[in-house]
Chain A
Amino acid sequence: MPSPEELKQRIETGIPGSLAEVEDLTGGGDHFSATVTAEAFAGLSRIEQHRLVYGVFGADIGGPIHALTLKTLTPTTISAP
């Protein structure tokens, strides 16, 4: 069963320059929610952005990772703290 930390690492490695926050939605290790911010998303449609993230996990989606809810952002859409 993957952990949120592991998913975070895989996303940030698979999409260089990205920042991922991953939550286990049910505590069961197979339903996750990820918010990913990446320069790489700039100019891409939501579908294309989500495909980039799903692409990191390949066949794991629907398998060990039963559900991965995504929110994708580009750095410019985040307001300054």
Chain B
Amino acid sequence: MSSPQFDPVPMAPSQGAGSTTAAPAPAEGEQQGNPIRDAIAEAIAEHRVILFMKGTPEAPACGFSARTVSILQSLDTPFAAVDILPDPRIRQELSAISSWPTIPQLFVGGELVGGCDIVTEMFESGELEQVLS
């Protein structure tokens, strides 16, 4: 069984991928607790703006994720990005934490702001810029 790995990639404005954060290694033998859920909760707490998406900001794998990324980039906001595709458990645990069924999911200051629809609406109304500042 492969170890749960995801690397939140901090995206500074006008920059490529920065340093990565490794997820905690699973315990040998019996699984204690829920390392993926813990790693997700930690990432959300650690990064002020974090986007869980399909694919990466350079290569989004879905239109909704792509649109959300381009909105964040147009606001020149630094953000961390997590690709949920490598491991289906990431999406499962994320949805358990956020009570939200779809991807992408944008968190700001530890709270779920929304998916593509909400982010787009807030961007158009100017609310998103305020939430991010």
Contact = CB atoms under 8 A, between A and B. Distances in A.
Nearest to A49: B118
Contacts, number: 32
A52 to B, nearest CB: 11
Contact of B112 (A47, A62, A70): A47
Nearest to B127: A46
Given A62-B102, A67-B102, A50 B112 contact: no
A38 interface: no
B112 A69 contact: no
B76 interface: no
A54 B114 CA distance: 13
Contact of B101 (A47, A54, A69, A71): A54
Contacts of B100: 47, 51, 54
Interface of A: 46-47, 50-51, 54, 61-62, 67-71
